[in-house]
Amino acid sequence: MNTLGRSFRLSILGESHGPCVGILLDGCPAGLALDPADFAADMERRRGGGAPGTTPRREDDLPIFQTGVHQGRSTGAPILILFENKQVDSSAYEAVKSIPRPGHADWVALKKYGGFADMRGSGHFSGRLTTALVAAGVVAKKLLAPARVSARLLEAGGSPDIERAVAEAMAAQDSVGGLVECRVRDLPPGLGEPFFDSVESLIAHAVFAIPAIKGIEFGDGFQASRMRGSQVNDLLEDADGRTASNHAGGINGGISNGNELVFRVAVKPTSSIRAAQLTLDLKTNQPALLSMGGRHDACIALRAPVVVEAAAAAVLADLLMLEGLLPRIMP
């Protein structure tokens, strides 16, 4: 469903072309200072900063605290943060209502919701909802301090020269995927619970909710599948759990070991491309050529790191709280 977390709990809501998107945070400790200004930097990162290959849709992304915040601090009651959708142009979607866009959720939404889904701008499936997730991440990262979560784009189209890969994709009226790495420093050991709530399980659960994510690996990840045990095992160096190497990505037996938490996620290329693609017109049951001229990202991965941070931070804040390591009233 649209809810994540056991004690620090997020519920996400909204559609791309409806009045708003938003996040409902339940279980946030009381007394946490929350100011709209706290959200500005991450919102700007999510918008992509106007870089080539990011959507020209420009929302101001100002968080509106509807509930749960009073005199600049969380009250202990559920926090509802809304973001208005202002730059909405749904004209393009009217025409293609019965023509599922390749790579998008149009066909499955039709199947699952029988034509009632609001699919303007991809509706509830839109990347627009990550605004709400990023807002949750801002709050979660505050709770996690002094632990710090930071993600960055390592590659686009398989190349570390990301600008070039994006430019080439744009020139070809195409899009391109990317690889994001996330690291969390100063995380306490002991987070995560066998059997089903391993740190990997919970982070993967949250991260795969982000549109366009198709893979995740922790520590050496897929490379570990090609290696020997003698290469992969991290050797304990002191009683605090420090290890010389960090092939495990900071997790043993599903539990954080105090080393840096490290994971990478694969972001697929944006499904919307300008080049014409073949699909089906469900009204006529005939093939149809579709070229997407709307406001799209050539490389959604450019804007993904802050969203990945948010997903990880939300999970870790919940684990911290479940472990009894977060005060119920912030100092």
Question: Restricting to residues 272-311, which ones interact with its own copies according to CB under 8 A?
Answer: 272-273, 275, 277-280, 282, 285, 301
If the CB atoms of residues 146 and 196 are measured against its own copies, the closer one turns out to be 196
State yes or no: residue 137 binds its own copies (CB under 8 A).
Answer: no
Site residues for its own copies, 55-114, by CB under 8 A, read 66-68, 70, 73-78, 80, 82, 100, 102-105, 107-109, 111-114
Pick from 308, 306, 290, 152: nearest CA to 215: 308
Q: Please report how close the Cβ of residue 70 comes to its own copies at its closest, in angstroms.
A: 4
Q: Please report how close the Cβ of residue 49 comes to its own copies at its closest, in angstroms.
A: 21
State yes or no: residue 262 binds its own copies (CB under 8 A).
Answer: no
Q: Please report how close the Cβ of residue 253 comes to its own copies at its closest, in angstroms.
A: 3
Task: Specify the stretch interacting with its own copies by CB under 8 A; choose among 40-48, 50-58, 137-145, 321-329.
Answer: 321-329
CA distance 13 to 20: 8
If the CB atoms of residues 41 and 89 are measured against its own copies, the closer one turns out to be 89
Pick from 101, 124, 161, 104: nearest CA to 17: 124
By the 8 A CB rule, do 114 and 100 touch?
A: no
State yes or no: residue 312 binds its own copies (CB under 8 A).
Answer: no
Q: Which helix (H) or strand (E) holds 79?
A: strand 79-84
Q: Rounded to an integer, what is the distance from CA 114 to the centroid of its chain?
A: 27
State yes or no: residue 317 binds its own copies (CB under 8 A).
Answer: no
Query: CB-side exposure of 320: number of CA atoms within 13 Å?
Result: 25
If the CB atoms of residues 163 and 208 are measured against its own copies, the closer one turns out to be 208
Hey, which residues does 150 pair with through a beta bridge?
183
State yes or no: residue 50 binds its own copies (CB under 8 A).
Answer: no
Q: What are phi and psi of 65, to 5 degrees?
A: -80, 110
If the CB atoms of residues 7 and 150 are measured against its own copies, the closer one turns out to be 7
Query: Nearest 5 degrees, angle CA 73-CA 202-CA 208?
Result: 95
CA distance 151 to 149: 7
If the CB atoms of residues 126 and 149 are measured against its own copies, the closer one turns out to be 126
Site residues for its own copies, 149-168, by CB under 8 A, read 155, 157-158
CA distance 227 to 275: 41
CA distance 219 to 72: 39
Q: Which long-range contacts (CB under 8 A, 24 or more apart) does 239-246 make?
A: 241/189, 246/219
Task: Specify the stretch interacting with its own copies by CB under 8 A; choose among 43-51, 52-60, 134-142, 216-224.
Answer: 216-224
For residue 116, give Cα distances in angstroms to 90, 103, 111. Answer: 16, 20, 10
If the CB atoms of residues 41 and 151 are measured against its own copies, the closer one turns out to be 151
Pick from 22, 63, 137, 305 the residue near its own copies by CB under 8 A: 22
Q: Please report how close the Cβ of residue 323 comes to its own copies at its closest, in angstroms.
A: 6
Pick from 144, 162, 176, 319 the residue near its own copies by CB under 8 A: 176
State yes or no: residue 140 binds its own copies (CB under 8 A).
Answer: no
Size of the site for its own copies (CB under 8 A): 143
If the CB atoms of residues 234 and 309 are measured against its own copies, the closer one turns out to be 234
Q: Please report how close the Cβ of residue 258 comes to its own copies at its closest, in angstroms.
A: 8
Q: Rounded to an integer, what is the distance from CA 19 to the centroid of its chain?
A: 22
